[in-house]
Amino acid sequence: MNFKLILNIAIHLLRARLKQSIVAAAGVTFGISMFVTLLGFMNGLNDLLDNLMLNRTAHVRLYNEIKPTEQQPVVLSEQFQKNTHFIRSIKPKDEGLAIYNSRAIIQNLKQDERVIDVSAKITTPVFFNSGTIEISGIINGVDVLAEDKLFQLTDYMIEGSVNNLLQNNSIMIGKGLSEKMLLTTGDIIKVTTAKGDLASLKIVGIFQIGIAEIDNTLTYTSLDTAQKILGKPTNYITDIQVKLYDISTASVVAKEFQHRFNVDTIDYETANSQFETGSSVRSIISYAVGIVLLIVAGFGIYNIMNMMIFEKMDSIAILKATGFSGQDVKWIFISLSLIIGIVGGILGLLLGLVLSTIIDSIPFETASLPTVTTYPINYNPFFYIIGITFALLTSTIAGLFPALKASKVDPVEIIRGK
């Protein structure tokens, strides 16, 4: 088959109906651009929300749950093996929140090649004293440098710097807390621990995460400072936070760590399952809207093709009389439809890119993500590939039936009809 000739005929037929062809192509352009923009925007939002969550969440967290011993003594006793046990009033055992052998675990994790980095943490509830009132809050004693590396604390600082935490007896408080207690950098804050111990810490920084609950209660100190105010030894650690290179393996890795180190673990997905649901719903909506638009565009192509074939009956008869087979005629009209689809599709991708860039430049400020200044757009080439694929698919399908009809035109009937 001579595709160059077939394409040439298709283009000439198209030119004869230029206006309608442009309208049909514009339908595709509109559909594709909306599809690409919508997906880019929705996924941009998804990424933003994921980041919001992921920035603040360890991929895997190792900790000690307060819970009763699984194997109570009576179960282990040989004497009562065959008896039924009734135990009442079980209490959780007093192992504390500390992770046993934390140093070794951290050493081990740092050598694991799946792990980006590890950050140790002590979380403890405290009271902050201001005059006669006491405000409850939380102190996170962290490995300052590792925490900043994994959770980008620096991005959230509005006063002071994270590195100041390396000084002894320093603390970083949330914006909410600072406003409530009328304290700023350089001031001293008084802290009462759960056990009643008192400590005075110097405020070296103020941060804003953008979530009021956190900004009102959370504070950061170094591990040393936290251990000191709690009166604990230097190996006292309550959480080990791990970030992985391949985030999708988090749940598997979490289970593995649980067995290996004999601690409780939780992966980020389990800890934040509601985020996933939101993301997938947004994706489904944008795909659905995009596909509906493309189907509408497909009907546009179908219409113009049918009209064209009806008008070009004579031309089809001549082509057949002079040696073009039904197959040739079919390909002429399929290529015609494909030309509309490709031209409309490529323009649609470009328009989609332009629209995305425009959205991308609209200012959008949110305290929770200080690095974000404009509306988020995801320029994943995958969306553009899906877009053009759909454009080709719809135009092929829309062109197929009219093309088959054209291929079956009986030239004798047309020539007789004159």
Partner 1 sequence: MSNIVLETKDLTKYFYDPVKIQVLKSVSMKVNHGEFVSIVGKSGCGKSTLLYLLSTMDTDYEGQLFMDDQLITGKSDQELAQIRNEKIGFVFQFHYLLPEYDVLRNVMLPGLKLGKLSKEEVEHNAMEHLRTLDMTDQVLKMPNQLSGGQKQRVAIARALINNPLIIMGDEPTGNLDKKNSDLVFDIFNELALEKKQTLLVVTHDNDFAARTHRTITMEDGRII
Where on the chain is the footprint of partner 1 (CB under 8 A)? 2, 5, 9, 12-13, 15-16, 314-315, 317-328, 410-412, 415-416, 418
Reduced to 3 states (helix: H, G, I; strand: E, B; else coil), residue 277 is: helix
Comparison of 87 and 415: residue with beta carbon closer to partner 1: 415
CA triple 254-259-264, angle to 5 deg: 60
Q: If DSSP states are collapsed to H, E and C, what string results for 66-111?
A: CCCCCCCHHHHCHHHCCCCCCCCCCCCCCCCCCCCCHHHHHHHHHH
CB of 47 to partner 1, least distance (A): 50
Which amino acid makes up residue 359? I
Cβ 314 to partner 1, closest distance in Å? 7
Q: What is the spatial distance between Cα 394 and Cα 28, in angstroms, rounded to a whole number?
A: 9
For residue 311, the minimal CB distance to partner 1 (Å) is: 10
Cβ-based nearer residue to partner 1, 387 or 411: 411
Is 256:115 a contact under the CB 8 Å cutoff?
A: no
Select 16 or 116, whichever has its Cβ closest to partner 1. 16
Classify 307 in phi/psi space as left (phi over 0), alpha (psi -120 to 50) or beta: alpha
Contacts of 128 (CB under 8 A, 6+ apart): 134, 135, 136, 137, 177, 181, 189, 190, 191, 192, 219
Q: How far is the CB of 294 from partner 1 (least distance, A)?
A: 29
The 3-class SS string of 170-189 reads EEEEEHHHHHHHCCCCCCEE
Least separation in angstroms between residue 335's CB and partner 1 is 15
What is the H or E stretch that residue 368 is in?
none
d(CA 48, CA 369) in angstroms, rounded, equals: 8
CB nearer to partner 1: give 5 or 285: 5
Is the CB of residue 206 less than 8 Å from the CB of residue 158? yes
Nearest distance from C-beta of residue 392 to partner 1, angstroms: 25
Q: How far is the CB of 330 from partner 1 (least distance, A)?
A: 11
Nearest approach in angstroms of CB 346 to partner 1 is 24
DSSP code at position 162: G
3-state SS, residue 401 = helix
If the CB atoms of residues 308 and 338 are measured against partner 1, the closer one turns out to be 308
Closer to partner 1 at the Cβ: 95 or 413?
Answer: 413
Nearest distance in Å: CB 275, partner 1:
57
Cβ closer to partner 1: 34 or 317? 317
Looking at the Cβ atoms of 282 and 312, the one nearer to partner 1 is 312
Q: Where does residue 1 rank: exposed (0-12), middle (13-18), buried (19+ CB within 10 A)? A: exposed
79/322 with CB nearer partner 1? 322
Rounded CA-CA distance 330/403 in Å is 5
Q: Distance between CA 264 and CA 140 in Å, rounded?
A: 19
Q: Which is nearer to partner 1, 327 or 374 (CB)?
A: 327
Rounded to 10 degrees, the C-alpha dihedral 143/244/368/226 comes to: -20
Is 413:316 a contact under the CB 8 Å cutoff? Answer: no
Distance of closest approach, residue 6 Cβ to partner 1, in angstroms: 9
CB of residue 300 to partner 1, shortest distance in Å: 22
Query: Smaller CB distance to partner 1: residue 218 or 403?
Result: 403
Rounded to whole angstroms, the Cα distance separating 217 from 132 reads: 18
